[in-house]
Protein backbone atom coordinates (compact mmCIF):
# COMPACT_ATOMS: atom_id res chain seq x y z
CA UNK A 1 0.00 0.00 0.00
CA UNK A 2 1.10 3.58 -0.62
CA UNK A 3 -0.22 4.94 2.68
CA UNK A 4 0.12 3.84 6.29
CA UNK A 5 -2.00 5.56 8.94
CA UNK A 6 -0.57 5.46 12.47
CA UNK A 7 -2.96 6.13 15.36
CA UNK A 8 -1.73 6.28 18.96
CA UNK A 9 -4.62 5.61 21.33
CA UNK A 10 -5.06 5.95 25.06
CA UNK A 11 -8.53 5.37 26.55
CA UNK A 12 -10.52 6.83 23.63
CA UNK A 13 -12.41 3.69 22.64
CA UNK A 14 -15.59 5.27 21.24
CA UNK A 15 -13.73 8.05 19.45
CA UNK A 16 -11.25 5.55 18.02
CA UNK A 17 -14.12 3.47 16.64
CA UNK A 18 -15.46 6.44 14.69
CA UNK A 19 -11.98 7.27 13.42
CA UNK A 20 -11.35 3.74 12.16
CA UNK A 21 -14.74 3.60 10.48
CA UNK A 22 -14.01 6.84 8.63
CA UNK A 23 -10.75 5.33 7.35
CA UNK A 24 -12.68 2.33 6.03
CA UNK A 25 -15.05 4.74 4.26
CA UNK A 26 -12.14 6.63 2.68
CA UNK A 27 -11.81 6.76 -1.11
CA UNK A 28 -8.36 5.12 -0.82
CA UNK A 29 -7.28 2.03 1.06
CA UNK A 30 -4.52 2.40 3.62
CA UNK A 31 -2.58 0.28 6.05
CA UNK A 32 -4.01 1.18 9.48
CA UNK A 33 -1.79 0.72 12.52
CA UNK A 34 -3.21 1.32 16.01
CA UNK A 35 -0.69 1.64 18.82
CA UNK A 36 -2.64 1.27 22.06
CA UNK A 37 -0.85 2.70 25.10
CA UNK A 38 -2.20 0.18 27.64
CA UNK A 39 -5.74 1.58 27.63
CA UNK A 40 -8.09 0.43 30.40
CA UNK A 41 -11.34 1.13 28.50
CA UNK A 42 -11.37 -1.88 26.18
CA UNK A 43 -9.89 -0.06 23.20
CA UNK A 44 -7.60 -2.92 22.19
CA UNK A 45 -10.40 -5.48 22.43
CA UNK A 46 -12.66 -3.25 20.31
CA UNK A 47 -10.05 -2.91 17.56
CA UNK A 48 -9.49 -6.67 17.41
CA UNK A 49 -13.20 -7.50 17.39
CA UNK A 50 -14.55 -4.77 15.09
CA UNK A 51 -11.62 -3.84 12.84
CA UNK A 52 -9.63 -7.02 12.15
CA UNK A 53 -8.12 -5.37 9.07
CA UNK A 54 -6.30 -2.88 11.33
CA UNK A 55 -2.93 -3.83 12.77
CA UNK A 56 -3.02 -3.55 16.55
CA UNK A 57 0.23 -2.96 18.45
CA UNK A 58 -0.87 -3.22 22.07
CA UNK A 59 1.61 -1.87 24.63
CA UNK A 60 1.95 -3.00 28.22
CA UNK A 61 2.52 0.55 29.45
CA UNK A 62 1.84 4.10 28.32
CA UNK A 63 4.75 5.13 26.11
CA UNK A 64 3.14 8.45 25.27
CA UNK A 65 2.53 10.18 21.95
CA UNK A 66 6.06 10.25 20.57
CA UNK A 67 7.05 6.77 21.67
CA UNK A 68 3.82 5.26 20.38
CA UNK A 69 4.03 6.99 17.03
CA UNK A 70 7.63 5.89 16.53
CA UNK A 71 6.62 2.27 17.15
CA UNK A 72 3.87 2.63 14.55
CA UNK A 73 6.18 4.37 12.07
CA UNK A 74 8.75 1.59 12.36
CA UNK A 75 6.03 -0.98 11.66
CA UNK A 76 4.61 0.92 8.67
CA UNK A 77 5.15 -0.34 5.12
CA UNK A 78 3.54 2.44 3.10
CA UNK A 79 5.45 4.97 1.02
CA UNK A 80 3.74 7.70 3.03
CA UNK A 81 2.88 7.75 6.74
CA UNK A 82 0.04 9.77 8.23
CA UNK A 83 0.06 10.42 11.97
CA UNK A 84 -3.58 10.77 12.98
CA UNK A 85 -5.26 11.38 16.34
CA UNK A 86 -7.91 8.87 17.44
CA UNK A 87 -10.39 11.71 18.08
CA UNK A 88 -10.67 12.53 14.38
CA UNK A 89 -13.13 11.65 11.63
CA UNK A 90 -11.68 11.77 8.14
CA UNK A 91 -13.74 13.04 5.20
CA UNK A 92 -13.90 10.33 2.49
CA UNK A 93 -11.60 12.16 0.07
CA UNK A 94 -9.23 13.79 2.59
CA UNK A 95 -6.48 11.18 2.52
CA UNK A 96 -6.59 11.01 -1.27
CA UNK A 97 -6.07 14.78 -1.50
CA UNK A 98 -3.20 14.76 0.98
CA UNK A 99 -1.42 11.94 -0.81
CA UNK A 100 -2.05 13.46 -4.25
CA UNK A 101 -0.26 16.61 -3.16
CA UNK A 102 2.73 14.61 -1.94
CA UNK A 103 2.82 12.66 -5.21
CA UNK A 104 2.69 15.72 -7.46
CA UNK A 105 5.01 17.89 -5.36
CA UNK A 106 8.14 15.83 -4.64
CA UNK A 107 9.80 18.85 -3.01
CA UNK A 108 7.17 18.81 -0.26
CA UNK A 109 8.31 17.48 3.13
CA UNK A 110 4.83 17.15 4.64
CA UNK A 111 1.16 18.11 4.47
CA UNK A 112 -1.80 18.47 6.79
CA UNK A 113 -5.54 18.87 6.41
CA UNK A 114 -7.99 21.50 7.58
CA UNK A 115 -9.12 20.41 11.05
CA UNK A 116 -12.48 21.61 12.29
CA UNK A 117 -14.69 21.08 15.31
CA UNK A 118 -17.86 18.98 14.98
CA UNK A 119 -19.85 22.21 14.78
CA UNK A 120 -17.86 23.30 11.75
CA UNK A 121 -15.56 25.97 13.22
CA UNK A 122 -12.03 25.71 11.83
CA UNK A 123 -9.38 24.92 14.41
CA UNK A 124 -6.23 26.96 14.73
CA UNK A 125 -3.46 24.68 13.52
CA UNK A 126 -0.13 25.27 11.78
CA UNK A 127 2.30 27.88 12.99
CA UNK A 128 5.78 29.18 12.55
CA UNK A 129 8.67 27.44 14.30
CA UNK A 130 8.50 28.91 17.82
CA UNK A 131 11.11 31.61 18.35
CA UNK A 132 12.81 31.67 21.73
CA UNK A 133 11.31 35.10 22.39
CA UNK A 134 7.84 33.67 21.75
CA UNK A 135 8.42 30.92 24.32
CA UNK A 136 9.62 33.46 26.86
CA UNK A 137 6.60 35.69 26.26
CA UNK A 138 4.07 32.86 26.50
CA UNK A 139 5.44 30.94 29.46
CA UNK A 140 7.04 33.44 31.82
CA UNK A 141 6.15 36.51 33.83
CA UNK A 142 7.77 38.61 31.10
CA UNK A 143 4.69 38.13 28.96
CA UNK A 144 2.51 39.48 31.77
CA UNK A 145 4.76 42.49 32.25
CA UNK A 146 4.89 43.24 28.51
CA UNK A 147 1.48 42.15 27.12
CA UNK A 148 1.81 44.08 23.84
CA UNK A 149 5.12 42.33 23.13
CA UNK A 150 3.52 38.99 23.96
CA UNK A 151 0.55 39.61 21.68
CA UNK A 152 2.75 40.75 18.80
CA UNK A 153 4.90 37.61 19.05
CA UNK A 154 1.80 35.40 19.24
CA UNK A 155 0.29 37.05 16.16
CA UNK A 156 3.48 36.39 14.24
CA UNK A 157 3.72 32.80 15.50
CA UNK A 158 0.17 31.98 14.38
CA UNK A 159 0.39 33.90 11.09
CA UNK A 160 -2.17 36.43 12.29
CA UNK A 161 0.07 39.15 10.93
CA UNK A 162 -0.52 37.63 7.48
CA UNK A 163 -4.28 37.22 7.95
CA UNK A 164 -4.09 33.43 7.65
CA UNK A 165 -7.71 32.36 8.19
CA UNK A 166 -7.12 28.66 7.36
CA UNK A 167 -9.81 28.82 4.70
CA UNK A 168 -7.24 28.60 1.91
CA UNK A 169 -4.25 26.35 1.27
CA UNK A 170 -0.80 27.76 1.88
CA UNK A 171 2.77 26.93 2.83
CA UNK A 172 3.46 26.78 6.57
CA UNK A 173 6.38 25.89 8.82
CA UNK A 174 4.89 23.61 11.53
CA UNK A 175 2.27 20.94 10.86
CA UNK A 176 0.04 19.57 13.67
CA UNK A 177 0.85 16.11 15.00
CA UNK A 178 -2.87 15.35 15.08
CA UNK A 179 -2.75 15.08 11.26
CA UNK A 180 0.70 14.99 9.69
CA UNK A 181 1.69 13.18 6.50
CA UNK A 182 5.30 12.68 5.39
CA UNK A 183 7.32 10.15 3.45
CA UNK A 184 8.12 7.13 5.59
CA UNK A 185 11.88 7.64 5.39
CA UNK A 186 11.53 11.22 6.63
CA UNK A 187 9.20 10.90 9.58
CA UNK A 188 10.51 10.03 13.03
CA UNK A 189 9.67 11.80 16.27
CA UNK A 190 12.08 12.74 19.03
CA UNK A 191 11.90 9.93 21.60
CA UNK A 192 13.15 12.31 24.29
CA UNK A 193 9.78 14.08 24.10
CA UNK A 194 6.56 12.58 25.44
CA UNK A 195 3.58 14.68 24.33
CA UNK A 196 4.55 18.19 23.29
CA UNK A 197 6.74 19.91 20.70
CA UNK A 198 7.38 16.90 18.40
CA UNK A 199 5.99 18.87 15.43
CA UNK A 200 8.20 21.85 16.23
CA UNK A 201 11.17 19.51 16.56
CA UNK A 202 10.36 17.99 13.15
CA UNK A 203 10.05 21.43 11.62
CA UNK A 204 13.46 22.39 13.00
CA UNK A 205 15.01 19.29 11.45
CA UNK A 206 13.38 19.91 8.07
CA UNK A 207 13.76 23.68 8.11
CA UNK A 208 14.03 24.92 4.54
CA UNK A 209 11.84 22.18 3.05
CA UNK A 210 8.26 22.99 2.16
CA UNK A 211 5.23 21.97 4.23
CA UNK A 212 1.65 22.70 3.24
CA UNK A 213 -1.74 23.22 4.83
CA UNK A 214 -4.45 21.94 2.45
CA UNK A 215 -7.82 23.58 3.09
CA UNK A 216 -9.75 21.26 0.76
CA UNK A 217 -8.77 18.13 2.72
CA UNK A 218 -11.12 18.18 5.70
CA UNK A 219 -11.01 16.29 8.98
CA UNK A 220 -13.24 16.63 12.02
CA UNK A 221 -11.22 16.85 15.21
CA UNK A 222 -13.09 16.41 18.48
CA UNK A 223 -10.02 17.38 20.49
CA UNK A 224 -10.62 15.15 23.49
CA UNK A 225 -9.52 16.85 26.71
CA UNK A 226 -7.54 13.88 28.01
CA UNK A 227 -4.47 16.06 28.50
CA UNK A 228 -6.18 18.70 30.66
CA UNK A 229 -4.54 17.69 33.94
CA UNK A 230 -1.67 18.68 36.16
CA UNK A 231 0.30 15.69 34.83
CA UNK A 232 -0.06 17.09 31.31
CA UNK A 233 1.05 20.51 32.50
CA UNK A 234 4.15 19.06 34.14
CA UNK A 235 5.00 17.03 31.03
CA UNK A 236 4.46 20.11 28.89
CA UNK A 237 7.08 22.11 30.76
CA UNK A 238 9.48 19.14 30.77
CA UNK A 239 9.08 18.66 27.01
CA UNK A 240 9.51 22.37 26.42
CA UNK A 241 12.84 22.36 28.25
CA UNK A 242 14.04 19.38 26.20
CA UNK A 243 12.99 21.12 23.00
CA UNK A 244 14.69 24.41 23.92
CA UNK A 245 17.91 22.70 25.01
CA UNK A 246 17.99 20.75 21.73
CA UNK A 247 17.39 23.70 19.43
CA UNK A 248 18.36 26.80 21.43
CA UNK A 249 21.09 25.55 23.75
CA UNK A 250 21.61 24.95 27.47
CA UNK A 251 21.94 28.62 28.44
CA UNK A 252 18.60 29.61 26.92
CA UNK A 253 16.96 26.55 28.44
CA UNK A 254 18.22 27.62 31.88
CA UNK A 255 16.94 31.13 31.30
CA UNK A 256 13.50 29.90 30.27
CA UNK A 257 13.38 27.50 33.21
CA UNK A 258 14.19 30.30 35.65
CA UNK A 259 11.67 32.80 34.31
CA UNK A 260 8.93 30.16 33.94
CA UNK A 261 9.04 29.04 37.59
CA UNK A 262 6.52 31.62 38.90
CA UNK A 263 3.94 30.60 36.29
CA UNK A 264 4.66 26.91 36.88
CA UNK A 265 4.27 27.33 40.64
CA UNK A 266 1.00 29.24 40.23
CA UNK A 267 -0.44 26.48 38.04
CA UNK A 268 0.69 23.83 40.51
CA UNK A 269 -0.91 25.69 43.40
CA UNK A 270 -4.15 26.10 41.48
CA UNK A 271 -4.26 22.38 40.73
CA UNK A 272 -3.45 21.47 44.34
CA UNK A 273 -6.23 23.70 45.67
CA UNK A 274 -8.74 21.89 43.52
CA UNK A 275 -9.29 24.58 40.91
CA UNK A 276 -9.28 23.89 37.20
CA UNK A 277 -6.74 21.23 36.37
CA UNK A 278 -5.40 23.68 33.84
CA UNK A 279 -3.93 21.33 31.29
CA UNK A 280 -1.21 22.40 28.95
CA UNK A 281 -0.55 26.11 28.70
CA UNK A 282 0.33 25.43 25.07
CA UNK A 283 -2.43 27.10 23.06
CA UNK A 284 -1.93 24.84 20.05
CA UNK A 285 -2.79 21.63 21.84
CA UNK A 286 -4.27 20.35 18.63
CA UNK A 287 -0.78 20.47 17.12
Query: What pLDDT band is residue 284 in, cutting at 50, 70 and 90?
Result: very low
Is the CB of residue 108 less than 8 Å from the CB of residue 210? yes
pLDDT in tens, 14-39: 999 999 999 999 999 999 999 999 99
pLDDT at position 223: 76
pLDDT in tens, 186-224: 999 999 999 999 999 999 999 999 999 999 999 999 975
Is the CB of residue 201 less than 8 Å from the CB of residue 190? yes
The whole-chain average pLDDT of the chain stands at 93
| Three-state secondary-structure class, residue 97 | helix
Give the separation between CA 23 and CA 30, rounded to whole angstroms: 8
Give the separation between CA 113 and CA 103, rounded to whole angstroms: 16
pTM for the model stands at: 0.93
As a residue count, the chain comes to: 287
pLDDT at position 273: 85
Give the separation between CA 105 and CA 103, rounded to whole angstroms: 6
pLDDT in tens, 242-276: 999 999 999 999 999 999 999 999 999 888 887 55
Amino acid sequence: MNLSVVIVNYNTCDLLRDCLQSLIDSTITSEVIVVDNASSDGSATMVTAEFPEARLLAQTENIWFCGGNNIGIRAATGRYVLLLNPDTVVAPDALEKLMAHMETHPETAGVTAQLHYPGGDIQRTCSRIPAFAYLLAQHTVLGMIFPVWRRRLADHHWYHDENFTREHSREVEVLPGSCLMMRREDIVLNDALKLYFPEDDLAQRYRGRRCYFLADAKITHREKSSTRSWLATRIYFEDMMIYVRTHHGLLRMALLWLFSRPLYAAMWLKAKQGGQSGGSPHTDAAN
